[in-house]
């Protein structure tokens, strides 16, 4: 079972920082889901999660 979090390519922080009442501490986090076109609770079960592909950072000389 997958859970909603920012490792999903559809997830992002909501535009309104006080949306979930947590302010800046983000204790009770709301996440905007692009796939569902609505806000969802972080860490709730999600059958539509698609993990982000992580792009490796270029090596520095």
Output the pLDDT for position 23.
55
Give backbone dihedrals phi and psi of 59, rounded to 5 degrees, phi first: -70, 140
The domain locations on the chain are 1-54
Q: What is the pLDDT of residues 26-53, one digit of tens each?
A: 556 788 999 999 989 889 999 999 998 8
pLDDT at 20 over 60: no
CA dihedral 16, 20, 22, 24 (to 10 degrees): -20
Give the contacts of 51 (CB within 8 A, at least 6 positions apart): 7, 8, 9
Contact 48, 11 (CB under 8 A): no
């Amino acid at each position: 079972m997958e859970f909603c979090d920012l490792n999903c390519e559809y997830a992002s922080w909501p535009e309104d920082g006080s949306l979930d009442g947590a302010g800046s501490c983000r204790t009770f986090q709301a996440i905007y889901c692009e796939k569902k076109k609505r806000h969802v609770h972080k860490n709730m079960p999600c059958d539509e999660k698609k993990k982000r592909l992580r792009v490796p950072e270029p090596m520095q000389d």
